[in-house]
Amino acid sequence: MPVYTAPRRDLAFVLFELFEADRLWRAMEATAEVDRDLAEAVIDAGGKLAESAFLPLNASGDAEGCTFEDGSVTTPAGFRDAYAAYAEGGWVGLGGEPEYGGQGMPKMLTVAVEEMFFAANPSLYLYPVLSAGAALLIASHGSEAMKQRWLPEMYAGTTSGTMCLTEAHAGSDLGLLRTRAEPLKDGSHALTGTKIFITGGEHDLAENIVHLVLARLPDAPQGSAGISLFLVPKILDDGERNAVAAGAIEHKMGIRGSATCVLNFDGARGFMIGEPNRGLACMFTMMNYERLSIGMQGLGAGEIAYQNALAYARERLQGRAPVADERSGDAADPLLVHPDVRRMLLTQKAYNEGGRAFAAFVGLQLDLSKHSNDDEEARKAANLVAFLTPVAKTYFTDRGFDGCVLAQQVLGGHGYVVEWGLEQYVRDVRIAQVYEGTNGIQAMDLADRKTARDGGRMAGVYADHIAGCIADPRCPERLRPGLENALESFRRATRELAENSKADPALPGSVAVDYLELTGLVSYAWLWALMVGTAEALRDQEGSDVDFLDGKIAAGEYFHARLLPLATILEQRIATGSTPLAVRAEAL
């Protein structure tokens, strides 16, 4: 039976000992009421619900999957009760607007909650987390009437939300989409077309569903400049069923308890959100929010996989410890004594905890961009969010997948069989590298739009921020040279992109994945340096939790010694430019 304990101690370390979040929240009017006690109570309650209601349904939900009959979807046994407990606890609206029934908690805190639920049961959690994203879009771009009509129900979980972008011939390239929206006399629109792969497009958890749909007006320009956004309720205000129905659900490698639907719109009534032809820009509000959330899916998966691998490595006896002092009186020692098993575990721990700190940092920038009283600070934070969102989504999910595979390896053959749960984590987390924009497309967004076309300005602001952290007295002297080298690699790679992409348009795409990896690596490196310094200072205090802090210091040292050197190789790869990829199509 897989184990999972919400990482309460580490979340408290990141939020309050590393970032002093309570001080930051106090400084912003919108979050001034949130103090450490409240935040820890939220994390504790969320952790308990994830452990007690979500986790027990993870394996059974995978085995049973969703079923589809006559346009209706039945979710696996137990999902309805667990969803109801989540919704009734007010969790859907945790970060929602207080005027409409949300709780207004800072993003820095809600990402922590998202990690725990994603770890415990990603299939089940996708339903409410998409609703929270849809509610955010309505709150940002909907009319006042729309907000009053839908937000309270969405925060209460009685109405859920979807995002309907993908069509059979329009995946990464949304400019190709064909769903039509014909104006009706009363100002609403009739939507016709078929969307595929729609998460939570139909289910039995909530009374109603609002679909946020991208479609084209009759006179719309070609491409992405001609896309508008519509809110299409499953059930209309007069109680009538709207002309939108699920045609099928997909049979998938993982997240089998999450219904992935074909949705047919057959003249369905929709209500425009925002301006005509400006729908994609509005949808990006939701997509940015969802991207950080889907990143948390990767992080949560990495954490539960690590916890299970660690528990197994403590128990399983195989082989003798290389160091005589560590040998027990038994015929064999626990797996944990073997350096290669420690390598696998420390790699997971270093990426999970580095990621947790990075998620809190990106969450903080989202809060500052929205709530800071200082315009300059808000603008800088908004730029950092734009630059770092593709990094968070991609780096969390790539490292989360790697971590699940490493954890599976720690269990040897037992990692491959269903009983221990590890193979499910690998299958479930794999989709996070694909949806919400594939990781390749995210890397292009970072390297091309956010760096090459921006002349490297946002990257420069971020590099200066990191340089400031190296100068922070908490950054240990011994970790500074490695960090400085990696930062220089990042600055040189940024210059390469900013200076040479105009002359060589294939350059950003050729090096995008390496550039994103380098950005992720450098991000974790500065955070790890500060975490090691923070842990060392706490360790000197009387009554400190020495095991936790020693683990923190060891993982940070490991990251800097064994993982950070990859920065040099990434820089070398980037320096080779587009040439190695300039292969004639016929030659492949």
Q: Among the candidate windows 22-30, 147-155, 194-202, 407-415, which touches ligand FAD by CB under 6 A?
A: 194-202
- Cα 557–chain centre separation: 26
Q: Give the Cβ contact number of residue 55 at 10 Å.
A: 24
Least gap, CB of 501 to ligand FAD (angstroms): 15
137 binds ligand FAD (CB under 6 A): no
Piece of 160-168, 221-229, 473-481, 538-546 that binds ligand FAD (CB under 6 A): 160-168
How many residues of this chain bind ligand FAD (CB under 6 A)? 21
- Tokens 């415990």 map to which residue? 120
Which listed residue (436, 496, 517, 571) is catalytic?
A: 436
Question: CA angle at residue 443 from 493 to 577, to 5 degrees?
Answer: 40
> Does residue 192 touch ligand FAD according to CB under 6 A?
no
CB of 212 to ligand FAD, least distance (A): 9
Least Å distance between CB 18 and ligand FAD? Answer: 33
Cβ-based nearer residue to ligand FAD, 291 or 380: 291
Q: Which stretch binds ligand FAD (CB under 6 A): 60-68, 196-204, 228-236, 344-352?
A: 196-204
Calpha distance 393→441 (Å, rounded): 11
| Binding-site member from 103, 166, 264, 544 for ligand FAD (CB under 6 A) | 166
| Annotated catalytic residue 436 | yes
Instruction: Give whichever of 252 and 474 is closer to ligand FAD, judged by the CB atom.
Output: 252
Tell me the backbone φ, ψ of residue 177, rounded to 5 degrees.
-65, 150
Q: Which stretch binds ligand FAD (CB under 6 A): 49-57, 163-171, 366-374, 549-557?
A: 163-171
Q: Which two three-digit tokens encode residue 354?
A: 């580095």
Which residue number, 243 or 434, has a Cβ lying nearer to ligand FAD? 434
Position 562, amino acid: R
199: contact with ligand FAD by CB under 6 A: yes
Please say which residue, 45 or 582, places its beta carbon nearer to ligand FAD: 582
**Coil, strand or helix at 235:** strand
Smallest gap from Cβ 258 to ligand FAD, in A, equals 7
Output the furthest CA–CA distance in the chain (Å, rounded): 84
Inter-residue contact 537 to 473 (CB < 8 Å): no
In the complex with ligand FAD, the residue whose CB is nearer, 164 or 273, is 164
Residue from the set 75, 123, 159, 260 that interacts with ligand FAD by CB under 6 A: 260
HEC sequence for 487-541:
HHHHHHHHHHHHHHCCCCCCHHHHHHHHHHHHHHHHHHHHHHHHHHHHHHHHHCC
| Intra-chain end-to-end CA distance of the chain, in Å | 46
Tokens representing 457 are 């300005």
Q: In whole angstroms, how close is the CB of 506 to ligand FAD at the nearest point?
A: 11
Q: Does residue 549 belong to the site contacting ligand FAD (CB under 6 A)?
A: no
**Which H or E element spans position 8?**
helix 8-12
Q: Is 27 in the site for ligand FAD (CB under 6 A)?
A: no
Q: Which parts of 430-449 interact with ligand FAD (CB under 6 A)?
A: 431, 434-435, 437-438, 440-441, 444
501 phi/psi in degrees, rounded to 5: -70, -30
List, in sequence order, the alpha helices (H) in 322-374.
339-371
| Options 26, 36, 80, 252; binder of ligand FAD; rule CB under 6 A | 252
DSSP structural state of residue 473: T
> In the 3-class helix/strand/coil scheme, how is 179-201 assigned residue by residue?
CEEEECCCCCEEEEEEEEEEECC
Which are the contacts of 186, defined by CB distance < 8 A and separation ≥ 6?
none
CB of 171 to ligand FAD, least distance (A): 2
Residues labelled as active-site residues: 436
Instruction: Catalog residues that contact ligand FAD under the rule CB under 6 A.
Output: 162-166, 171-172, 197-199, 252, 260, 431, 434-435, 437-438, 440-441, 444, 509
